[in-house]
Structure 1
Amino acid sequence: MLAKDAPTIWNALKGIICVYKPADVSCNRVAKTVIHKICSELNEMDCRPPIDYVSIEGDPSGELTVITKPSLADDPLVVGPRYQPKDIRCTWSSYLGVNTSGVLLLGIQNGTKLAMRIRNNKLVRAYRIKGLLGLATDNYYKDGKVVEKSTFKFIKAFNIEKLLASMQAAHQRKMFDTCGVDLQSQAAYELAVKGPIRPSHSKIPLIYGIKCVHFEPPEFTIEVHCINEYEMYLKALMQEIGMKLHSTAHCTGIQCIRHSYFNLDHALLQKHWTLQNIITNLEECNDIIEEHKDLTIQENIALQYG
């Protein structure tokens, strides 16, 4: 429930919120928009009054009078609104590229420390990536210059499914290679029974699962569960799929549908970025984090992907 006075709300702004980042908008712009919305609505609520100015008046040789009155030096008309964007700390737990939309976690105030821990843990994220067969662009994305055209009518759904299964198997082998373990050894078996393997290096993108969820040539959509990924890597992945299908392809859209335990159901749409919804979302997100805080990173990855 939202309190009516701004100081109470201000003290409650501590934790993680989950918002839906639109495409073609930077994470920095999203954070600034949320901060501006919080400040504007806080300033519309009951804020603290100006501090009292105490003065002693009268004849020093006679009776003195102590007078208190609101200090003009602390009046909002003089110093500006009580709550300003520079007073709010905000950072994202993991960066989404400009062309990527979807689930974005933001740390507010003391929640920035938690957001940094989530960023450093590099947990699993899931994406829906749309592609278009028959055209290749210089930047692997739909706004790039077309550099090659090719036929695609011979490509069937089972061709993509077979290719994606092969790519997933290759990445699973890569997981053991990055750990320095022979795939046929007992050590590899012991690692496998513990669940999905976390890569030893934070800069190596690894795919835990990849499948085709929509195929209507020339358009198709794949779902990817991965770690350590970045936007250009996902765009290049679509181009690689086109080449391995003996055709061409480019990316037309990227949507993050899940980050750790947070999915699209938890994400606030831009039209819902109000103080009431932000506070409610913050409480829900903090409850989810509290529920899973005692799990190890390996257990978290296993639950998210498994």
Structure 2
Amino acid sequence: MLVPEAPAVWNALKGLICIYKPAEVPVKKLRNIFIHKMCQELNNLKVRPPSGYVDIQGDPSKQLTVLVRPNLADNPLVVGPRYQEQDLPVSWSNYLGYNTSGVLLFGVKSGTKQAKHIRENLPTRSYRVKGVLGQVTDNCYKTGKVIQKSTWKHVKRENMDKFLSAMQAAHQKKMFELCGVDMQSQAAYDLAIQGLIRPANSKIPVIYGIKCVEFDGPEFTLEIQCVNEYEDYLMHLINEIGLKLHSTAHCTGIQCIRHSRFTIENALLMKHWTLPNILENMEKCEEVLKNNQGTSVTLA
């Protein structure tokens, strides 16, 4: 089997990749692990040999001997590996919190521009957020200390669905208010038919859709479609839902299942981070972008 040369692989290593971030692993650490892994595999391939230098020997008044010798100053044992971690630029398109797992987009080399473009267009994301009724913790997450307990058996699936529908309607109304239009006006209709309305302020979380997909009291799972969200916001959202249902609740897990047009099906697990798999994933990500190019749903 023909082993590819490192320079050819290095030139092909550019674009977007979709990976799966585990919970309790910071994004920065995951980025460093990825860069280290890629450089390590590149250096295990056939790299360029040390450059030579011209060595002229002999008496200048007589015949000279010209030799080309290996340049020890260019030897990997002297200058280090051919591919070093600081030479591989990688940036993320979406930032997931420490306790959040799921879809994470990395831009590699020229792909950092694509990652930035997606990030600045405020794409929506979808999450599966799990919670437990009857307890509240000091940090609204399962790792915190339980500071209050309450009854929860009065909370039924229909109560949850009714409240979530009202919450979704309230967020949609808020979105139109931020745009300065009345929901019953023609201007609101014109905005709605153009697609999802995004807030002008990128720091204001907005929920476009929220529903309960699993309910087995006291545990429940919500599917949330939103923009400008962050981990603490989703945790406190579970706490707020518990209070509104005349109980208490805390979050037990957050999973990002979609970012822009990229889903868990596109995400590559850490154990599969090899150069062939990464290059294949880049091609698939490029197909996702091409299939939605020029449409309003490209970054939805």
TM bucket, shorter chain: over 0.9
Partner of 2:18: 18
% identical aligned pairs: 59
> Would you say 1:5 and 2:5 are equivalent positions?
yes
Partner of 2:198: 198
CA RMSD between the two structures: 1.3
Q: Residue type of the partner of 1:246?
A: H
Partner of 2:178: 178
CA deviation string 1:12-70 (max 9, x = no partner): 11100000000000111111111111111111111111111112111122222221011
TM-score by structure 2 length?
Answer: 0.97
Q: Residue type of the partner of 1:192?
A: A
> Would you say 1:160 and 2:166 are equivalent positions?
no
> Would you say 1:121 and 2:141 are equivalent positions?
no
Q: Residue type of the partner of 1:203?
A: K
CA shift, 1:84, in A, is: 1.3
- Relative to structure 2, which stretch is displaced further, 272-281 or 287-296? 287-296
- Relative to structure 2, which stretch is displaced further, 164-173 or 27-36? 27-36
Aligned residues: 299
CA deviation string 1:194-215 (max 9, x = no partner): 2221222211111110000110
- Relative to structure 2, which stretch is displaced further, 114-123 or 160-169? 114-123
Query: What is the SS of the residue equivalent to 2:141?
Result: coil
Query: Where does structure 1 lack aligned partners over 5 or more consecutive residues?
Result: none
Q: Is the 8 A contact 2:289 2:298 kept in 1?
A: no
Query: What is the SS of the residue equivalent to 1:202?
Result: coil
CA shift, 1:111, in A, is: 0.8
Q: Residue type of the partner of 1:280?
A: E
Q: Residue type of the partner of 1:81?
A: P
CA shift, 1:4, in A, is: 1.0
CA shift, 1:3, in A, is: 6.3
TM-score by structure 1 length?
Answer: 0.95
CA deviation string 1:90-119 (max 9, x = no partner): 110011001000000001111111111111
Partner of 1:273: 273
CA shift, 1:79, in A, is: 1.4
CA shift, 1:85, in A, is: 1.0
CA shift, 1:300, in A, is: 3.6
Q: Residue type of the partner of 1:227?
A: V
CA deviation string 1:265-289 (max 9, x = no partner): 0000111111111110011112211
Q: Is the 8 A contact 1:3 1:9 kept in 2?
A: no
CA deviation string 1:205-264 (max 9, x = no partner): 111100001101111000000001111111111001000000000000000000011000
Distance in 2 (CA, whole Å) between partners of 1:275 and 1:219 is 40
Partner of 2:61: 61
Q: Is the 8 A contact 2:202 2:228 kept in 1?
A: yes
Query: What is the SS of the residue equivalent to 1:265?
Result: helix
Alignment of 1:216-227 (within 5 A): 216-227=216-227
